[in-house]
Amino acid sequence: MLSLPAALTHAQAGEFSRSLKAELAAEPVALVLEAGALKEFDSSALAVILACRREALSAGKTFSVRDLPARLRQLAGLYGVAELIPATV
């Protein structure tokens, strides 16, 4: 399981995305992205989550997100990408 930081805005997104690439490769077949710590974010957080999804699926892994904040789920809905971010119970 990979975890998102407490803050993920445009300022942190690029560096965080680069650091995730190596971690993604080490994950098992099912990649779960933990978003429970995420408190400060903007649309860049969606870009990071979708990049993780893209990397996971291209590596033949499943992808889901646990504890996505409601405000970020709403933002994903506004952008029309909510269905690309499946929730893990």
User: Residue 48 sits in which domain range?
Assistant: 2-88
Would you say 56 and 23 are in contact if contact means Cβ atoms under 8 Å apart?
A: no
- Kindly give the parts of the chain with pLDDT less than 50: none
CA distance 75 to 15: 22
Would you say 70 and 36 are in contact if contact means Cβ atoms under 8 Å apart?
A: no
Beta partners for residue 19, in sequence order: none
Residue 51 burial (10 A CB sphere; 0-12, 13-18, 19+): middle
Instruction: Tally Cβ neighbours within 10 Å of residue 33.
Output: 24
Model pLDDT, residue 83? 96
pTM above 0.95, yes or no: no
Model pLDDT, residue 89? 65
Query: How many distinct structural domains can be found in the chain?
Result: 1
For the domain that residue 63 is a member of, what is the CATH number? 3.30.750.24
Model pLDDT, residue 9? 94
